[in-house]
Amino acid sequence: MTTSTRGAGKAPAVLVLEDGRIFRGRAYGAVGETFGEAVFSTGMTGYQETLTDPSYHRQVVVMTAPHVGNTGVNDEDPESRRIWVAGYVVRDPARVPSSWRSRRTLDDELTEQGVVGVSGIDTRALTRHLRERGAMRVGIFSGESLADDAALLARVKEAPQMVGASLSAEVATTESYVVPAIGEKKFTVAALDLGIKGMTPHRMAERGIEVHVLPATATLDEVYAVNPDGFFLSNGPGDPSTVDLTVVKGVLERKTPLFGICFGNQILGRALGFGTYKLKYGHRGINQPVQDRTTGKVEVTAHNHGFAVDAPLDKVSDTAYGRAEVSHVCLNDQVVEGLQLLDQPAFSVQYHPEAAAGPHDAAYLFDRFVTLMEGQRA
């Protein structure tokens, strides 16, 4: 969806929302044009992790934090091999980054990777607009010879919608690979890569898990070929209603311990027979309060989701795989943030316990997965 050229960093740029609202600023990163779904992230830090999270594929991310790029770009924090956001919107980019880890400026990195952005616009007004009207399609256009606004708006209206988009295959690995356990190997996990972040297998490896990361298209036979103690469903971009449920249902039938994160939670939900729906503007950021309904504890958590599971909060549901309940809920809006099965070892969360970036409150969920795998062996 993106075409771009290098250089001309301060060219005029225009951001056009599909409802006709327009913001004018200056080019940030590559000069050119791009289209996607406009969403906002409330994370004050962690922009490298956000940019490289494959779940942001086809989304134009608006940063509510007014200063972005202050710590530059380092080689340690990316969550995948490239930047995935379709476009980037900031108020006031840092001109001089400062960090002992910084290797280059964020502007240079965006330019290098051909990511079209815009700076110098009122991101607070834009965020309030998206909050009131909901996430919607957007285009960013920059360069010296911009077409008139009506022509740009017509192009935005031709861009694809997020509802109905099947995107995992565009971001996931095509070859399986192994992330070795750190220290003594205790378990083997088959992880379906629907757009996995690098920190996720690392969090498992830290707990003695050897993680076999499999392409999104892996079959049930390929999952069981690695002789897994557990099965993991990753985060990922797109609409969960487009995902084929054959593999996850096969895993549930065999009662293999299962853990899912974000897209994985939505897929587990659908496999259990719950619906998924699009939130008005979603949850993105690293400061979202979630209650674990099992313990009553509240965690501050990292989120990036535009869809959610439609499951009853007030009762246990009977599913094809036994009883299921909502284990976690977002305290801002009562959105379902986790599911657990009561008759077999399977659970998932809608948010990001791998915490890259984000607070580490939810790290215990990886320990829960280990406990389920231990229970299955005992």
Ligand X SMILES: NC(=O)CC[C@H](N)C(=O)O
Residue ranges at the known binding site for L-glutamine? 55, 236, 238, 263, 266, 304, 306-307
Q: Which of 9, 6, 36 is nearest to 237 (CA)?
A: 36
Residue 40 or 307: the one with the smaller Cβ distance to ligand X is: 307
Contacts of 229 (CB under 8 A, 6+ apart): 187, 188, 189, 256, 257, 373, 376, 377
Residue 69 or 306: the one with the smaller Cβ distance to ligand X is: 306
Contacts of 193 (CB under 8 A, 6+ apart): 168, 172, 173, 213, 214, 215, 216, 234
Query: How far out from the chain centre does Cα 344 lie?
Result: 27
Catalytic residue, from 262, 283, 328, 330: name it: 262
Taking the complex as a whole, the smallest distance from the CB of residue 49 to ligand X amounts, in Å, to: 12
Taking the complex as a whole, the smallest distance from the CB of residue 183 to ligand X amounts, in Å, to: 29
| Residues of this chain that bind ligand X (CB under 6 A) | 55, 235-238, 262-263, 304-307
Residue 5 or 241: the one with the smaller Cβ distance to ligand X is: 241
Helices assigned H by DSSP within 319-377: 364-377
CA distance 11 to 214: 42
Whether 222 is catalytic? no
Q: Which of 130, 132, 149, 148 is nearest to 89 (CA)?
A: 130
At residue 204, the 3 state secondary structure works out as helix
Taking the complex as a whole, the smallest distance from the CB of residue 329 to ligand X amounts, in Å, to: 16
Residue 9 or 238: the one with the smaller Cβ distance to ligand X is: 238
Whether 210 is catalytic? no
Whether 262 is catalytic? yes
Residue 257 or 306: the one with the smaller Cβ distance to ligand X is: 306
Catalytic residue, from 33, 49, 299, 354: name it: 354
**Beta pairing, strands 336-341 & 322-330:** antiparallel
For the chain, report the end-to-end CA distance as a whole number of angstroms.
51
Taking the complex as a whole, the smallest distance from the CB of residue 208 to ligand X amounts, in Å, to: 25
Conformational region of residue 231, where left means phi above 0, alpha means psi within -120 to 50, and beta covers everything else = beta
Taking the complex as a whole, the smallest distance from the CB of residue 327 to ligand X amounts, in Å, to: 17
Contact criterion met (CB below 8 Å) for 344 and 375: no
Q: Point out the annotated binding site.
A: 55, 236, 238, 263, 266, 304, 306-307
The string over 147-173, giving b where at least 16 C-beta atoms fall within 10 Å of a residue's C-beta and e elsewhere, is eeeeebbeebeebeebeebebbebbbe
- Where are any strands of DSSP class E within 271-321? 275-292, 298-310, 317-319
Taking the complex as a whole, the smallest distance from the CB of residue 262 to ligand X amounts, in Å, to: 3
Residue 123 or 235: the one with the smaller Cβ distance to ligand X is: 235
Catalytic residues: 262, 352, 354
